Structure 1
Amino acid sequence: MTMKIVKTLFLKAPPEHVWKFLTEADQLALWFHRGAADLKEGGDWTLVTNTYGKEGEKMCWGKVLEMKKPERLVHTFTHNHLKGVETTCTWTLEAVKGGTILTLVHDGWEKYEDDPFGMAANHDSGWDEHFGRLRRVAS
């Protein structure tokens, strides 16, 4: 069975503006977590914590597989709780009159053998929380 999280946001900003919030370290910090560096195609990416006492600790990471600015971003995604299992995030930005339709497909949960449904459900909830902030800062 294949499990995937699919989220769609309607943002009142052009794709070029929204793209920055997915790929630039300082913009990621405004809604998700601070990036160690800007994302680059073929490169590794890392997000670090800003939690007091743990500032700068690596919290999630992966490899950028595809970047087609400002239309599509694909990267792997993992963290310590996934125990080395890599999932995949595919971001699609569609320009529409008045803004951008941003779609995230986050898949690969079935590779996490311990509790794939539980892990996917936790991330589904987490994306909702983060996307609330993304709507505020990117629109």
Structure 2
Amino acid sequence: MSVDESAVVAASAERVWRAFADHDDRGEWWHYLYLEPVAGGSLEERWTDEHGEPAVTRGEVTHANEPALLAFSWADEGQEAATDVEITLTPRGSGTEVRITETGWDRLPDGPSLAADHRAGWRVHLANLRRHVEPADGG
């Protein structure tokens, strides 16, 4: 079982990489994620759950190959095991395909439910990323 979401954005791979890797740039579209975009770097996402309670997801960057691959493992507080995320950036014409794959759901007793939640979350992040990096005039 895996989550596999992708979108083609009208921006270069270098621009998309910067949107993920640069603290100030990322803060404009994913402000609640702290990320050190180097292998061994830490990440922390502070968010609010469906009950309005604060939650924290922590992890470690496993690969950072600018501007093509950012990979990390992460887990919510209290989660039995981490999942593994790969974000690949592939040039497609004048744009970039951003593909997000998240695996490891089989290590969690509520894996199918969590995978569905994460799939929805990645779709939101991809839409926010697209709005952030694409030119305002659409071209």
Q: TM-score range by the shorter chain?
A: 0.7 to 0.9
> Where do 5+ consecutive residues of structure 2 fail to align?
49-53, 135-139
Q: 1:58 to 1:120 in 2, by over 3 A?
A: closer
Would you say 1:116 and 2:114 are equivalent positions? no
1:6 aligns with one of 1, 4, 7: 4
Richer in strand (by share): 2
Is contact 1:44-1:61 (8 Å) kept? yes
Instruction: Name the TM-score, length of structure 1 as normaliser.
Output: 0.82
Pick one of 22, 25, 28 that aligns with 2:26. Answer: 28
Match of 1:53? none
CA contact (8 A) 1:46 1:58 kept: no
Counterpart residue type for residue 12 of structure 1: A
Given the two structures, how large is their TM-score scaled by the length of structure 2? 0.82
Is the contact made by 1:26 and 1:35 (CA closer than 8 Å) also made in structure 2? Answer: no
8 A contact 2:37–2:70 mirrored in 1: no
What count of residue pairs does the alignment treat as equivalent? Answer: 131
TM-aligned CA deviation for residue 99 of structure 1:
1.0
1:31, 1:131 within 8 Å by CA — same for their partners in 2? no
**Most deviating of 17-26 and 64-73:** 17-26
1:135 to 113, 126, 130: 130
SS at 1:78 equivalent: strand
Deviation digits for residues 98-124 of structure 1 (CA, Å, limit 9, x no counterpart): 1101111111111111x2111111111
- Determine the structure 2 residue equivalent to 1:87: 83
Question: Whole-Å Cα distance in 1 between the matches of residues 80 and 20 of structure 2?
Answer: 23
Alignment RMSD = 2.3
Identity %: 24
Question: Aligned partner of 2:68: which letter?
Answer: E
CA apart distance, 1:41: 1.7
The aligned residue for residue 70 of structure 2 is 73
